Amino acid sequence: MHIGPYALAAPLALAPMAGVTDRPFRMLCRRMGAGVAASEMVTSDVRLWHTPKSQRRMDHAGEPEPRVVQIAGGDAAQMVEAARLNADSGAQIIDINMGCPAKKVCNKAAGSALLRDEALVASILAAVVRAVEVPVTLKMRTGWDPANRNGVAIARIAEGAGIRALAVHGRTRADHYTGAAEYQTIRAIKDAVRIPVFANGDIDSGAKARAVLEETGADGLMIGRAAQGRPWIFNQLRHFLATGTTLAPPALPEVRDIMLAHLEQLYAFYGEHAGVRVARKHLGWYRDAAFGDSAVPAHQDSERTVAQGRDHDALFRQMRVAESVSVQRRLVLEWFDAVSAEESHGAGNLRGPSNGGHTGPEMRRRA
């Protein structure tokens, strides 16, 4: 699969997610099988780029090609300026956000709010494509609401403007992340255009990945919240799509090593004070993904197991409120030791579903 001159190692993309897909997480997912990973959404208002948050979002040092920056806004001139500046700073693909359903984005006539104004969509896309020499892609939804699924019209506008690839989330803006994703509109979009299409929404296992590809005819898949705490999902999907068999999740020691390496990257990227706090949400996602909804053993038929379960849960709570790198790192190691001890004493299956399914609470807010 290609996006412009760039051949992707796999037709699997990490969805850009504000507050999640920072440089450490993007690089981790690329190492674990993602073919491409876009930045967190960057505002097109360059007056706001001086903030530490914006500066970090545009930091791509050491990332493998292609480096993708996602921009959002509702003013064509601002979008052109943002695209040019990012391309001049090393962005190799510019992705335009017309998929975010968040009120703070849509209230500024950006993100998926733009889907209501096809003329403005055409103006923005054409202007940005003309302004930069790098490929421009589009992240979109199937429409504004279920009564106005104009995804096919938007896709045709995008292709006519010179957009090089589409990522389509199988929900409308009004749906936010509720209900199940629908793929018929993605199929209609794929049938209507000749550029590559990524299908996005509720893809959390190899079997689901294959089913979505078959139903939509899409060229690739985009994975969002299913990758939170589970960056190895990309290798699992690649394996299933190639062989039809399920790749088991990493063993406990490997999960520990992945977590610790990720934490070190967060500490280095954000600094100790912010890094410890950013790490907290990732620790929760790793716990939910690897060990199910609860870290307490599945059955507690002995006083020893009950005591271990209490220690296990208490360690996790302490880990989530740790204020320093040294304390957080130590508690992570102690927590894994406690989990290992419980598994060795037969305290139930602490691992999540081995078939790639994701039952943790985060997956009830689908990507």
Tens-digit pLDDT profile for residues 273-330: 999 999 999 999 998 876 654 333 333 333 334 344 447 678 888 988 999 999 999 9
Which of 216, 243, 270 is the last residue in one of the domains? 243
One-letter identity of residue 287 = R
Whether residues 269 and 232 share a domain: the answer is no
Q: Are residues 238 and 199 in the same domain?
A: yes
How much is the pLDDT for 39? 93
The answer to whether residue 367 sits within a structural domain is no
Whether residue 171 lies inside any domain: the answer is yes
How many other C-beta atoms lie within 10 A of the C-beta of residue 150?
Answer: 18
Range of the domain at 28: 2-243
Looking at the fold, whether 34 and 109 belong to one and the same domain comes out as: yes
Those residues of the chain that have pLDDT short of 50 are 103-109, 293-310, 347-350, 352-367
Shared domain for 165 and 57, answered yes or no, is: yes
Residue 298 and residue 216 in one domain: no
Catalytic residue selected from 15, 27, 76, 100: 100
- Establish if 353 belongs to a structural domain: no
Extract the tokens encoding 197: 């299409």
Provide the number of structural domains found in the chain: 2
Instruction: Enter the pTM of the model.
Output: 0.86
Residues 189 and 235 grouped into a single domain: yes
Considering the domain architecture, whether residues 42 and 186 belong to the same structural domain is answered as: yes
In a domain, 354, yes or no: no
Q: Is 106 a catalytic residue?
A: no
**Residue 270 forms part of a structural domain:** yes
At 337 the pLDDT is 87
223/303 same-domain check: no
Q: What is the CATH number of the domain that holds 151?
A: 3.20.20.70
Q: Is residue 233 part of a domain?
A: yes
In a domain, 361, yes or no: no
Q: What is the pLDDT of residue 112?
A: 66
| One domain, residues 105 and 233 | yes
Residue 26 counted as domain residue:
yes
Same domain, 102 and 75: yes
Render pLDDT for 99-124 as a digit per residue (tens, 0 to 9).
665 544 434 445 667 888 999 999 99
Same domain, 39 and 77: yes
* Domain-terminating residue out of 243, 260, 293: 243
Does residue 161 sit in the same domain as residue 307? no
Domain boundary among 197, 224, 243: 243
